[in-house]
Structure 1
Amino acid sequence: MDLLEKIREAGIIGAGGAGFPTHVKLNCKVEYFIVNGLECEPLLASDKFMMRNYSDEILQATEEIGKAIGAQHVVIGLKEEYEEEIKALKNSILKFNSKVKLHLSRAFYPAGDEQILVYEITGKTIPPGGIPLNVGAVVSNSGTVFNVFEAMHNKSVTYKFVTVIGEVNIPSILKVPIGTTVKECLEKCGGTTIKDYMIIMGGPMMGRKMKKEDIDTRVIKKTDGGIIAIPKDHYLAQKENMTIEHMKNQAKSACIQCHFCTDMCPRNLIGHPLNPHKIMRNIALEQLDNEATKQALICCECGVCELYACPMGLSPKRINVYLKGKLRDRGVKWQNVNNAVSANVFREYRKVPTDRLVARLGLSKYKRQRLQEEEEVKPAEVRIPLRQGIGAEASPIVKVNDVVEQGQLIGMVEEGKMGSNVHASISGVVSEISDSIVIKAI
């Protein structure tokens, strides 16, 4: 069985993003293979933990992937402030006499954005709406690469390392079986320090907000890397409750066309024709059927415009998300007029320092929290969704009352279809099958 087949069998998808099936992504030949270890979002530390503690595994898998896709340049990207992680990876490079290179980046946001990382390493701008393959590169998250190492040794994806931080009694990096509830993760961390809180699944900039009432039903999937508990009245929580009509009215009454949202837009700075200030003007004037509005389709939703750049506290990112939905409903797709794009000459001076961003978000006290590491959650029951990322839902291949072992294949995606296989994350008895498979521990 070759490497791609092992990856497909193991059910590996992008561990740090939308969950694109890895066996599909790596079915190519490229000049650059880039491992993303920059942990794009502030506060999260799962990738750092893995690079520090599993550097040998990550390096060996990086080498194998590089060979499989014929990459002339194999690079692991991480932040220059990650001193322990850099030391661990350098030791592994020496140990295996590896030709893998390290790319050290300043701590800015969003340094871990796939397109930003490709530009930093290759000097090439991916065309708007394009993917790294368009410039001869493939990018995989360090957690994904670790899962490839596991697959090389016939182990499937059954757990995630998850950073649990914020208003919790014992901030931790947990080893969590797929399908475990958020509630159990919080309980493993000694519960929350406050009664009224909101959960962010992922990072504070791009993560999805979740009400306290939903922690019983929301489960950890292959793409989850962080759980942040913040007060219910926190600025980020209040902003999430704003309606689209309120955002439109704010744009009409308060957008001063200062241009800061565009000046600091990471995608605009690498040359993409994305001008959030023009989109805000159009939404204010209700002139939505023009070329400037279509630029919303190439927004990466990083949130710099909304949570850092705008002096008026407006919502360009959420306006873009709203417009994306409207445009897609009408079947409108982005079309490049010119693929020859170049970065803004002021880009180096407009990078957003991560520490300053965290302070602006009112989250500095969480950045100082010390994390316990590798505490393992042992749930009595897991509910494993049959769709874990992009693509088709897996079809169950077990029945209610079947006894299954951890790592056993329980849901399969038909060969040739986009999607990922699903495996039992604990040993036990199948008690329910719907769009998820429920397993009760014996």
Structure 2
Amino acid sequence: MNLLEKIREAGIIGAGGAGFPTHVKLNCKVEYFIVNGLECEPLLQSDKYMMRNNSDEIIQAVEEIGKAIGAEHLVIGLKEEYKDEIQALKTSIGKFNSRVKLHLSRAFYPAGDEQVLVYEVTGRTIPPAGIPLNVGTVVSNSGTVFNIYEAMQDKPVTYKFVTVIGEVAKPSIVKVPIGTTVKEVLEKCGGAITRDYAIIMGGPMMGKRMSKDHIESRVITKTDGAIIVIPEDHYLAQREKMTIEHMKNQAKSACIQCHFCTDMCPRNLIGHPINPHKIMRSIALNEDNKDVLKQAMICCECGVCEMYACPMRLSPKRINVYVKGKLRESGVKWENTTNTFTGNILRDYRKVPTERLVARLQLSGYKRQRLQEGEEINPIEVKIPLRQGIGAGTTAIVNVGDTVEKGQFIGRVEEGKMGANVHASIGGVVSEISDSIAIKAIQAEVIK
């Protein structure tokens, strides 16, 4: 099998984003291959862990990917404050006489946004609603690249490194089999240290909030990289309870049209025609300005506008998400009117410092937590979703009662469809098949 076939067989999807099938993304020829090691969201450290401990594997995989896609430039983007990771990667680059270059960035948010990273490395603006391929580039998360190395050794994706941080007894980076419940991950980390808490799956800016009532049903998937535990009355948890009508009323009564949301919008700063303050005005004044409202369709939902820029603590991002949803329901699609996009000359002065963002989010205490490493979960049962990431779901190729081994195919994507295969993350017996495949580990009998 060639590299793309091995990636497809291993069921690799984007490990740090929406989960786009990697064998589809890398089926191209480009000038740049960029590895995203910037860990876009504050507090997350799983990618750092992998770059620090698996730098040899990452560099070898980058070289093979570069050959497969004909990339002239191989670049790993990471923050200049990542001293240990930089040293590990430099050592591996020298060890393998690699042509990989490191692009070091200031610690700002969202440095790891795919389009922002491409702009930083190449100086090229990806067109709104476009992809890196439009400017001769492909970007993969460092975790994805590590998974590709594993696929080169014929090992499928069966686990994730997950950052567990916040209101937990033992903040840790844990190796978690796919399909393990969030509850079991938390228990491995000593459990929550506050009675009433909420969970953020992913980062504090773009992660999905959920209540503690769902920790027994929510499982770790191929795209999950972090669990953040916050008090239930925390600012971030309470904001999620606000209704869209309340957000609209706030815009009507309190938006002062300072346009800080636009001035600091990362996509506006690389040249995209999005002006959140105009969208807020249209909503507030019931103007129904379709040309303005359509701009919401190219919002990347990073949250800078409402979590950092707005002095009135309004909700431009969620207004954009609401407008975007309504437009899509109506069949509206974004169309570029020009192919020329120019970054703002003041961009470097308008980047959001990560340290200040963390303070604004009232999370500074968690940033100082020391994470334990080397933890690994051995669950007695997993429930592996048949659909993970973007694309079609898989069809189960096992039956209830079958005994499976770790790494065995259990769900395959139909030929010709875009999706990702799934594999058993533990050995055991298939106990249930629905939209997930449940596997129970075989427990050794105790001899009395």
User: TM class, shorter-chain normalised?
Assistant: over 0.9
Structure 2 equivalent of residue 50 of structure 1: 50
Equivalent residue for 1:352? 352
CA–CA distance in 1 between the matches of 2:53 and 2:295?
A: 42
The residue matched to 2:334 in structure 1 has which SS? coil
Give the equivalent residue in structure 2 for 1:261. Answer: 261
Q: Partner residue of 1:155?
A: 155
- Aligned to 1:163, what secondary structure does the other structure show? strand
> What is the TM-score of this pair, normalised by structure 2?
0.98
Is it true that 1:226 corresponds to 2:222 in the alignment? no
Question: Hey, what does 1:362 align to over in structure 2?
Answer: 362
The CA distance in 1 between the partners of 2:205 and 2:15, in whole Å, is: 18
The code of the aligned residue for 1:293 comes to L
Tell me by how many angstroms 1:27 deviates.
0.1
Q: What SS is found at the alignment partner of 1:286?
A: coil
Q: How high is the TM-score relative to the length of structure 1? A: 1.00
**How far apart are residue 414 of structure 1 and its match?**
1.0
Correspondence 1:11 to 2:11: yes
Tell me, what secondary structure is at the counterpart of 1:437?
strand
Q: Tell me which residue corresponds to 1:106.
A: 106
- CA deviations on 1:116-159 (whole Å, 9 max, x unpaired) are 00000000000011000000000000000000000000000000
Amino acid at match of 2:270: I
In structure 2, give the amino acid aligned to 1:282: S
Deviation at 1:339, TM superposition (A): 1.6
1:124 aligns with: 124
Secondary structure at the residue paired with 2:199? Answer: strand
Counterpart-to-counterpart distance in 1, 2:329 and 2:388? 24
What's 2:445 paired with?
Answer: none
1:331 aligns to what SS in structure 2? Answer: coil
What is the distance in 1 between the residues matched to 2:101 and 2:346? 27
Partner of 2:205: 205
Q: Deviations over 1:247-292 (max 9, x none)?
A: 0000000000000000000000000000000000011112235111
Q: Distance in 2 between matches of 1:280 and 1:182?
A: 37
Query: How many pairs does the alignment contain?
Result: 442
User: Please, which runs of 5 or more residues in structure 1 have no aligned partner?
Assistant: none
Q: Which amino acid aligns with 1:430?
A: V
Q: What's the CA shift for 1:409?
A: 0.3
Code of the residue aligned with 2:107 in structure 1: it is: A
Paired residue for 1:21?
21
Cα distance in 2, alignment partners of residues 323 and 215 from structure 1: 30
- Off by >4 Å, runs of 4+ in structure 1: none
Determine the C-alpha separation between the residues in 2 that align with 1:362 and 1:160: 27
The alignment partner of 1:23 has SS state of helix
1:333 corresponds to = 333
Match of 1:61 in 2: 61
Task: Give the match's secondary structure for 1:174.
Answer: strand
Please report how far the alpha carbon of residue 386 of structure 1 lies from its aligned counterpart in structure 2 after TM superposition.
0.3
Equivalent in the alignment of 1:177 = 177
Q: CA deviation at 1:228?
A: 0.1
Whole-angstrom distance in 2 between the partners of 1:339 and 1:170: 50
Provide the rounded CA distance (Å) in 1 between the counterparts of 2:208 and 2:325: 17
Look up the SS of the partner of 1:43 in the other structure.
coil
The corresponding residue for 2:34 is 34
Tell me by how many angstroms 1:374 deviates: 2.5
Using the alignment, how far apart are the partners of 2:305 and 2:99 within structure 1?
39
Within 2, Cα distance between the matches of 1:327 and 1:418?
Answer: 25
